[in-house]
A and B are shown apart, each in its own frame.
Chain A
Amino acid sequence: MDGWLLTAFFGLAVAQIALYQIPSKQALHGFWFLGFFYFFLFAFAQGVALFSRLFSLPFYEFPLFFLAVFVLFRRTGKPFPQFGKQVRLAPDFYLFSAIWMGVIWLSFILTVVWAVHEPLLHGRWQEIYVQSFFWSFFPALVLPVLAGIRDRLALLDPPKAFEGLPVFLIASAIFLLAILFFLSFINSSSGR
């Protein structure tokens, strides 16, 4: 994930943890939900990318195409009853996460997946799905990790000026630094 996207994604995650103040145990409950949500979103976007490539369909024609498919093949009843049930059961916190993180995620997919559908066409499915698995479950882990950091900070005794939100922002900034430090090696190796 590139610079500003990662920063925006991480900043929103920090804001959400700071605003909702949920404990890490509760945040862990949303891990599988969010992970699979991103994974299916990734797979869906890749499918769309492949479809557009195979049928030479430009991106701006997709809404029209989906409308036509809906009109022609619409069915009564709900298309994904199980997913609908999950959505109703999930607390607001995860729904909110899923929506705004999904929006950022989609922008990431639009920039990256469109570029990596070439190996998909050549049958390198494993490479694509290992990558999408990592990029789906790692962001899903960011919320519990930040909630864990917030839990630990509540036990510390920082200087008065840093108590509460400032020390949480500093800890989050250091964690972002750690992620960027880690990704700098991967980006440098892929650039070679």
Chain B
Amino acid sequence: MPPLLKDKTEKLFPKISSPHLFAAHSSSQIVWGFFAALIPIWIAGVVAYGFAAVWVFVLAVGFSCGAQYVFGKRTWIQLGGAAFMGGLLTLLLPAQIPWQGVALGSLISSLMGQVAFGGLGQNIFHPALVGYAALFLLAPDWFSNRASESLGTTSIFAVVFSSLFLLFKKWIAWRTPFFYLLALGVFSSFFGRSFISELFNGSIFLAAFFFMTDPVTAPVTSRGRAGFAIATAFLTAMLRFWAEPLPAALCSVFFLNGFVPLLDRWTQPKLKMAS
């Protein structure tokens, strides 16, 4: 090939390694965007509980980043996964929780939920829910009374505002929360509960928009997502009817995270041979 033509060809078709397809935002930008979406919910928590909410946030994010810095890779912190996970854990904890609880929850979330699997985007179970469930089982007294409501459920308007931001940026698919809320309404009516009071609840919206839409732990296929949403709605309605626990939605999402690999396998689209 003549040198001039070669230069022109390389300019038009540069030789670069994959990926050759680019999205509008990198994964790091999306994760930091999710982190920014949590700010209105934290502000609502700070308004309701004062300095205690700030302290929980600082501790959770600090311990999560610290654990990933020591046991993981520095790039994981730059990608924002550790900070986002700490921020989400803050929303699940009550403001009155002792600092040891926040530290333990953050360490369990980081180490068991993320570092052991290989960092951001590798985990099967939602890391924030791993830490939350472990704390809930280890020290149920911290979550027992209604005064110890989690920070993320103080204002439903803040959760809705953050969810709309994520939907507007197209960082989450609308189908999963839509199917979930619709199915939850139907199942709640089936169990003889009020449609409105069951649906308009901070923890329900938090689970629907922040935990069920997690791109790592939610199913990949559209049929799988619909099945995941309906199954979670059924378990949530059943738990709320049976035991009325505050974290029914989060508990259902965490439990069904284990079924996601199977759901993905089950709902794989079948290739049709052209005749």
Q: Which residues of A approach B to under 8 Å, CB–CB?
A: 24-25, 28, 144-145, 147-149, 151-153, 156-159, 162, 166-167, 170-171, 173-175, 177-182, 184-186, 188-189
Complex CA gap A148/B263 in Å reads 9
Q: Which residues of B approach A to under 8 Å, CB–CB?
A: 112-113, 115-118, 122, 124-125, 130, 133-134, 136-137, 140, 235, 239, 242-245, 248, 251-252, 254-255, 257-259, 261-262, 264-266
A178 adjacent to B133 (CB under 8 Å): yes
B255 adjacent to A185 (CB under 8 Å): no
B116 adjacent to A24 (CB under 8 Å): no
**Which residues from chain B contact A149 at a C-beta distance below 8 Å?**
124, 258, 261
Closest chain B residue to A189, Cβ basis: B243
CB < 8 Å: which of A151, A157, A166, A178 contacts B261?
A151
**Which residues from chain B contact A162 at a C-beta distance below 8 Å?**
116-117
**Which residues from chain A contact B264 at a C-beta distance below 8 Å?**
148, 152
CB < 8 Å: which of B124, B140, B255, B262 contacts A144?
B262
A171 adjacent to B125 (CB under 8 Å): yes
**Which residues from chain A contact B242 at a C-beta distance below 8 Å?**
185-186, 189
Chain A's interface: helix, strand, loop or mixed, by majority?
Answer: helix
Closest 10 CB pairs between A and B? Answer: A148-B262, A189-B243, A148-B261, A152-B261, A181-B133, A185-B243, A158-B118, A175-B258, A178-B255, A182-B255
**Which residues from chain A contact B116 at a C-beta distance below 8 Å?**
158-159, 162, 166-167, 170
Closest chain B residue to A175, Cβ basis: B258
**Which residues from chain B contact A178 at a C-beta distance below 8 Å?**
125, 133, 254-255, 257-258
A157 adjacent to B118 (CB under 8 Å): yes
**Which residues from chain B contact A166 at a C-beta distance below 8 Å?**
116
B124 adjacent to A152 (CB under 8 Å): yes
Closest chain B residue to A27, Cβ basis: B262
A186 adjacent to B261 (CB under 8 Å): no
